[in-house]
Amino acid sequence: MATYQNNPDPKFTPAPKSQKNRTPLLAGIIAVLLIALAVLGISFMNRGTENAQLSTELVEMEQFKAQAEKQYYESLAELEEMRGSNQELNALIDQQKEELRLQNEKITSLTRDSRNLAAARRELADLKSKTTGYLAELEELRQKNAQLTEDRDRIANERDLLSNDLQVSQQTNQQLNTERAVLVSEREQLANRNSELSRKVNVASVIKTNNITAEGQKQRNSGRWVGRTNAKNVERIYVCFNSLDNAVAAAGEETFQMRIINPNGETMSIESAGSGVLTTDQGEQVPYTKSVPFNFQGDAANHCAEWNVPGQEYMEGTYTVELYNKGFLVGTTELELK
């Protein structure tokens, strides 16, 4: 068997294939991978932070739920401790418990989202505040009820005592009524005597008058007043009189009321000119023309007063002049104008 040996010609060498430079491509791929890794790392870190924060919020929310539930049932228990036999108080407790239940439902609704934790805390604080207010209100009502019960028992005891003493009281009252009737009768008699004495003293203190004169007058150009009997020429009525002495009347300011009645029976009265109304000793309301005040010192004195109203017209006939003191008619006179 023949063997052939392939011996290449040492003078012949195959040319090597050309190879491109791959370094820039590899560098780009590595850079992209590094950037992607950096982005993923940052994203992972952020997600980790968010997860940590979310985990913290969830823990806080769970703790808050437990706290809120504990507070709610403690509040209910405290309200129940105030329950007793008073129906009004118990009805108020039921109403307050219902309000707390609604408040608790609101808190429970808020705790479904950790973002509502702050709002839920405020609602819980409000629940605590309401509970405190409810307890204070219930305590006040309980104290009032206790006081009412005490007062009721005290009144019942007093009523029993009064009932036991009723017969004695009736006898005593009968005796007192008899004595009171006697005292009332004596007091009425004394009051009548005092009234009569006072009336007599009042009558005795009335200052009487005499020498009453009344004259129609006209003023001359000189200013002097002269008497006139013709009604058309009269400008004023001038009245003079004496007040008599009186030892009973107290010294000091006194007043006469002068009443001028025209021929038609009408009192000449103008409020702006000093007229008014007096009450007589008989209790009648009588208009008067003018007041005549004076300082009484116990002795007799002379007085004059005028009725002088600008534009006053006087009719013909008889005018009556009356003088009053302390409601008593103390003098009268007449004036005739033609």
- 232 and 121, same domain (yes or no): no
79: its two tokens: 């309200």
The full DSSP string for 86-149 is -HHHHHHHHHHHHHHHHHHHHHHHHTTSGGGHHHHHHHHHHHHHHHHHHHHHHHHHHHHHHHHH
Low-confidence ranges of the chain (pLDDT < 70): 1-22, 38-55, 192-201
From start to end of the chain, where are the E strands? 209-219, 225-227, 236-243, 252-261, 276-279, 285-288, 290-296, 301-307, 317-325, 328-337
* Amino acid identity at 313: E
Domain boundaries, position 255: 207-337
Would 8 be classed as within a structural domain? no
Q: Residues 132, 221: one domain?
A: no
Q: Out of 118, 141, 164, pick the residue that ends a domain.
A: 141
The verdict on residue 181 lying in a domain is: no
What does the block give as tokens for 281?
């000793």
Does a structural domain hold residue 332?
yes
Same domain, 136 and 211: no
Q: Is residue 28 part of a domain?
A: no
**Co-location of 126 and 247 in the same domain:** no
Identify the sign of the CA torsion 134, 137, 140, 143.
negative
CA–CA distance, 143 with 137 (Å, rounded to integer) = 10
Residue owning tokens 């913290």:
56
Nearest to 209 by CA among 266, 173, 247, 256: 256
Tokens 């991978």 found at: 33
Two structure tokens written together for 94: 């039921």
**Is residue 322 domain-resident?**
yes
Domain boundary, last residue among 141, 158, 180? 141
pLDDT of residue 14: 54
Specify whether 231 is located in the same domain as 132.
no
- CA–CA–CA angle 27, 30, 34 (5° rounding): 135
Task: Say if residue 110 is exposed, middle or buried (CB neighbours under 10 Å; 0-12, 13-18, 19+).
Answer: buried
Same domain, 135 and 211: no
Give yes or no: residues 223 and 306 share one domain: yes
Instruction: Return the DSSP state at 85.
Output: S
pTM beyond 0.85: the answer is: no
Flag whether 252 is in a domain: yes
246 belongs to a structural domain: yes
The CATH code of the domain that includes 303 is: 2.60.40.1930
Q: What is the pLDDT of residue 224?
A: 94
Statement to judge: residues 224 and 314 lie in one domain: yes
How far is 215 from 299, CA to CA, in rounded Å? Answer: 26
Tens digits of residue pLDDT in 115-145: 777 887 887 788 788 788 878 888 888 888 8
Cβ count near 322 (within 10 Å): 19
Q: What are phi and psi of 15, to 5 degrees?
A: -75, 135
For residue 76, the model assigns a pLDDT of: 84
Amino acid 20: pLDDT: 54
Residue 95 placed within a domain: yes
Tell which residue, 219, 265, 266, 220, has the closest CA to residue 238: 219
**Number of folded domains in the chain?**
2
Amino acid identity, position 261: I
Q: What integer pLDDT is reported at residue 255 of this predicted model?
A: 92
Q: In what order do the strands lie in the sheet with 328-337?
A: 290-296, 252-261, 317-325, 328-337
Predicted confidence at residue 2, as pLDDT, reads: 45
For the CA atoms of the chain, what is the radius of gyration?
60
Residues 6 or more apart whose CB falls under 8 angstroms from that of 261 comprise 267, 268, 319, 320, 321, 322
